[in-house]
Structure 1
Amino acid sequence: MNKAGYTLFYLGLAALPPVAGLARDLTGSAAAPLQAAAAVLALSMTGLLVYAAGTRDRPS
C-alpha cells in the first residue's frame, strides 16, 4: 500500500463515524449507522473490483 492508500484509510477512519452518527440523527433509526456502514463497504468493494479490472494484464 502506498502513501495515498494509507491517507485514504486514515481519512475514512476519521470521517465515517460522524457520517454514521448523522445518519442516525437524521433518520432516528438505530439501524441507520449499520446501513451506512454496509453502503460504505459496498462502495469500497465496487471500487476494488473496478481497480482490479483496470490493472489486469491484457494480451497485446
Structure 2
Amino acid sequence: MAYKIDADTCVGCGACEGTCPATAISPNDGKYVIDPAVCVDCGACEGSCPVSAISKA
C-alpha cells in the first residue's frame, strides 16, 4: 500500500518531493502526486508535509 497526497489539502510547497529517496513525487497542476509504482513506502514524505496532506492509501 503506497502513500498518497490529498489534493484538496496539498498547498504545493514541494517539501515532500525533496525528501523522497525514490523520486516518486512530482508536481501536477500546482499540487504534488506520488507514483505508487515507484513509491517504496518509506514514509519520509509523510513526515515532511507541513499540512499533513500525505497518508497511506
TM range (shorter): under 0.3
Q: TM-score w.r.t. structure 2 length?
A: 0.25
Higher helix share: 1
Higher strand share: 2
Which structure is higher in RCO with an 8 Å CA cutoff and minimum separation 6? Answer: 2
Q: TM-score w.r.t. structure 1 length?
A: 0.24
